[in-house]
Chains A and B, each alone.
Chain A
Amino acid sequence: MAAAAPRRSGRTRPPAAWCCSRHGPAGLVILFVLILTLVSTGRAAEPPVPPGVVDLTFDRAEFATGDGPGAPDAGWTPASLPDNWHFTRPRLTGFGWYRVVFRLDAVPGHALALLAPRVAKRGEFRLNGTLLNPGVRFDAHGQGDGTQMALQPQLLHLPPEVLRAGTNVLLVKVQGSGAAYSGLHPMRLASPETLRPAWLLREVPQQLIPKVLLVLLCAVLVIGLATRWRHGHALTRHLLLVTAMWAALVATNLGLWSEPVAGLGVALIVTLLIAFNWALLALCFRFSASSWTWFPPLLKVCGIAMLVAVPVLLALGQTDALRWLVAPTIPLRALATVMLARWAWQERSARALALSGSEALWFAGFVQWVGVALGVLPNWPFVLSPADSLPLFVVLVVLEVNRMLAERDTAVREREAAIGAERERLLHDMHDGVGSQLTTALRLAQQDPPDPPLLVRTIDDALQDLRLIIDSLDLADQALLPLLGNLRHRLAPRLAALGIRLDWEAQPLPPIEGLTPQSALLVLRIVQEAIHNAVRHADASVIGIGIAPDPAGGASVCVTDNGRGGVPLGSGGDPMRQRGLRIMGQRAARLGAELRIGPAAGDAGTRLELRLPPKLADDREPRPV
């Protein structure tokens, strides 16, 4: 039995300089990750190990295959750690054994632990025949239901008296597959205090941060769905969809459910990965102000093509090829990283830097994952993914909340502006109508001698005008007809009491674009003034109101009477009537409408026609009419 010589140091080897030969944005990102890794793992030179203290690193072992309960008797070959089956034994699927034999001069007087930073997919550790990690479940039926240990660094505290003076044998039984990244990384035997920093370096990014991320994802998802359901707004559907897929992927990485190994399971996970990358990259584009407008259509085309390929490959039974469908996401994510970096460089804002930086970190984790899986990256101190996506998620949520707050502020400002404008309009309308009429009424009441009939008429005019204002406020569905009908409904009994018949002929009108309470009030005032003119100045006995759609679009409102006949505008006559006609003309002009006043058919009476265009003039500014 050949004894593998342990090294007496716990230092990791420096990363190879392979990445420097790469160029382009992906190379830059990888360089960035390497720097980040070096910074995070850079440790000062460790002091020499004092005599009597054990600190052994096992980076060489022997390997043999065998699926029995005990280590095989023969077939052992030397193996250097890390050992990646994908390259050293690509055809192996099942169980392999690693054996490390080492000597101790004496039984150490302090507690010891074994650190196995990575064992994939799962493994059992035995030292001198004692099982160090009971409870490991091997995948017995190829269902993917074994314990998932790939991201779980193993810090195994050695029971007392398990070590011997002289020869010690460490056996590791590993279950894995040459098709995936399986195998064993170098192990270290030292005091728990010595190993703890190295264990934390993997435990925190590979276990703790992903768990925090999962909790955060679930919390945002629950709060987002609840507020959306209760208030009908809050987080966008896009972000909620991304969050749900994100949570599912992180949970898969953490091994919260069985690893998909069968065709349908793999198809599902591949579909999830494609959809997630598509949705998340589209979200990143939405939050950026990048000018690459071709990027979302490209994402869409690639996303649809990849998603369509999943059921096709599944139907053809090409389960192994399914995994390669994720490959096109690599250039897409590289493009997104370049796009965001370019936008951040142009904008140079905290928002842009946060989004671009967090996305670059996420991409770096992805590159690392692919690189490690392909064996082009050396033994990294820890796996970035899925912890690398935590900053991106936080940035996206912050940006989304900022967007919502900005939207709410805009809505509040718009509402305040609308309320202010409407208040101004009401004041203006009341000033011109009710206000001036009540002032006249007051003057009439105070004059000597008073003129009771004129006083009553003036107050009545004020009341009628106030009713027009109130009617116009309840403009629904751009419907002018109910407002005009209400005017008729109110005036008809009064006119009937005076012996005047008010005929009515109305056809349904098309919606009139730009019809606001303000423009509706102008129409109502024109029609009311026309009826008043017919009653007060023309001595009419029959007044007809005809409302119909205009052949040119819009609507036509006709007021005819059988009175004494009209007085053309500007041709003299009763100054009050002339003033009324002029104001009607000005109101029609504000609507962008055409007003025609002339003799009725047969020269008996007057005909007023107001032709409203399909789109009324925008008349928001109060004018002195």
Chain B
Amino acid sequence: MTPQPAAVTVLVVEDDPGQRDAFADMVRGAAGLVLYDAVGSLGAARRALEGRSPPDVVVLDLGLTDGDGTQLLLHLRQQAPDTAVLVATVFGDEGHVIRALEAGAGGYLLKDSTPAEFERALRLVHEGSAPLSPKIASHLLRRFAAPRPPAAGSAAPQDRLTARETQILTLVAQGYMVPEVARSLHLSAHTVTTHIKHIYEKLDVNNRVQAVNRARATGQIE
């Protein structure tokens, strides 16, 4: 008998009741996904998390009635670093997605995703994969190529892309999917995904501060 994979617990934070119900139904309808809770505000989300072990995945809307969803993202990054967060967005536009990545999100999800897409996105982010669209890749290439403001000083290693990461971003920006990128570069899909995760971590402001603190503590930088 093959062991069953552990169920993935999902917290849905979405202020639109119809959308929230749709997400909740998709969680309930997917085998292996368990609804942790479905709430409509930041306050309700905090209450739902109190005194319980955190969920595996949070599906989060950024524009909530009682505040910005990035507040919850930052809270989760500190209190529950193993919880993956998918930001729900209508358009997947850079404005929303980059802001979410900077706050530590693991990826984003279009609100009109089909149940299959929804389940796939949740499983991927839970397994550590990081979805990346060509436009976001193109945006990241430009962003990392742009000179840093003088106040930031010289670019630290965690602010630069490696040659491999640049190759991957370039191919993704040309419209190739992760398996195609992996074939093109003679890498495994897992390796490509790991590189994309590292790129995400370089965007994550919270993570960058921690990296600098770690480097300072270990004497890598003065």
Contacts and interface: CB of A to CB of B under 8 A. Distances in A.
B175 A504 contact: yes
B25 interface: no
Interface stretch (B62-70, B100-108, B134-142, B160-168): B134-142
Interface stretch (B32-40, B109-117, B193-201): B109-117
Interface stretch (A30-38, A168-176, A466-474): A466-474
A506 B174 CA distance: 7
B82 interface: no
B120 interface: yes
A486 B97 CA distance: 14
A489 B134 contact: yes
Contacts of B175: 481-482, 484-486, 488-489, 504, 506, 547
Interface residues of A, number: 28
Nearest to A504: B175
B91 A482 contact: no
Interface stretch (A291-299, A317-325, A347-355, A491-499): A491-499
Contacts of B159: none
B16 interface: no
Contacts of A506: 174-176
B177 interface: yes
Given A489-B175, A504-B180, A479 B114 contact: no
B91 A466 contact: yes
A477 interface: yes
Contacts of B180: 504
Contacts, number: 73
B134 A493 contact: no
Contacts of A474: 93-94, 135, 139
Nearest to B131: A489
B28 to A, nearest CB: 20
A398 B180 CA distance: 63
Interface residues on B, range: 20 to 34
B176 A482 contact: no
Contacts of B91: 466-467, 470
Given A476-B142, A485-B175, A497 B135 contact: no
B58 interface: no
A452 to B, nearest CB: 16
Interface in A448-469: 460, 463, 466-467
A344 to B, nearest CB: 46
A25 interface: no
A508 interface: yes
In this complex, the member of A466, A488, A493 whose beta carbon has the largest number of chain B beta carbons within 10 angstroms is A493
State the main secondary structure of chain B at its contact with A: helix
A470 B133 CA distance: 14
B12 interface: no
Contacts of A547: 175
A333 to B, nearest CB: 43
Contacts of A504: 175-177, 180
B125 interface: no
A483 interface: yes
A210 B138 CA distance: 58
B173 interface: yes
B137 A482 contact: yes
A463 B175 CA distance: 21
A485 B120 contact: no
Contacts of B138: 476, 479, 482
B176 A494 contact: no
Contacts of B139: 474, 476
Contact of B120 (A463, A486, A493, A494): A493
Nearest to B174: A506
B71 to A, nearest CB: 26
A493 B139 CA distance: 22
A22 B142 CA distance: 68
A460 B112 contact: yes
Contact of A485 (B93, B94, B114, B135): B135
A497 B134 contact: no
Contact of B134 (A470, A482, A507): A482
A493 B112 contact: no
B133 A497 contact: no
A484 B175 CA distance: 7
A466 B133 CA distance: 17
A494 B114 contact: yes
Interface string A335-372: 00000000000000000000000000000000000000
B93 A470 contact: yes
Interface string B133-160: 1110111001000000000000000000
Nearest to A482: B138
A494 to B, nearest CB: 7
Contacts of A507: 174
A489 B94 CA distance: 15
Contacts of A486: 133-135, 175
B86 to A, nearest CB: 15
Contact of B173 (A470, A481, A492, A493): A481
Contacts of B114: 493-494, 497
A460 B172 CA distance: 25
Contacts of A466: 91
Interface string B166-196: 0000001111110010000000000000000
Contacts of A477: 142
B120 to A, nearest CB: 7
Nearest to B138: A482
A368 to B, nearest CB: 50
Contacts of B110: 490
A492 B179 CA distance: 13
A506 B177 CA distance: 12
Contacts of A471: 135
B177 A492 contact: yes
A294 B176 CA distance: 57
In this complex, the member of B91, B110, B174 whose beta carbon has the largest number of chain A beta carbons within 10 angstroms is B174
A481 B174 contact: yes
B183 to A, nearest CB: 12
Contact of B133 (A463, A479, A489, A508): A489
Contacts of B117: 493-494, 497
B142 A482 contact: no
In this complex, the member of B110, B120, B134, B137 whose beta carbon has the largest number of chain A beta carbons within 10 angstroms is B134
A485 B176 CA distance: 7
A465 to B, nearest CB: 12
A476 B138 CA distance: 9
Contacts of A490: 92, 110, 133
Given A471-B135, A474-B139, A485-B173, 10 more contacts: A460-B112, A466-B91, A479-B138, A481-B134, A481-B175, A484-B175, A485-B135, A490-B133, A497-B117, A506-B176
- Across the A-B interface, give the 6 residue pairs with the lowest CB-CB distance, nearest first: A485-B175, A485-B134, A482-B138, A482-B134, A486-B135, A506-B174
12 contacts: A466-B91, A470-B93, A476-B139, A476-B142, A477-B142, A481-B175, A483-B135, A486-B134, A486-B175, A488-B134, A497-B114, A504-B177
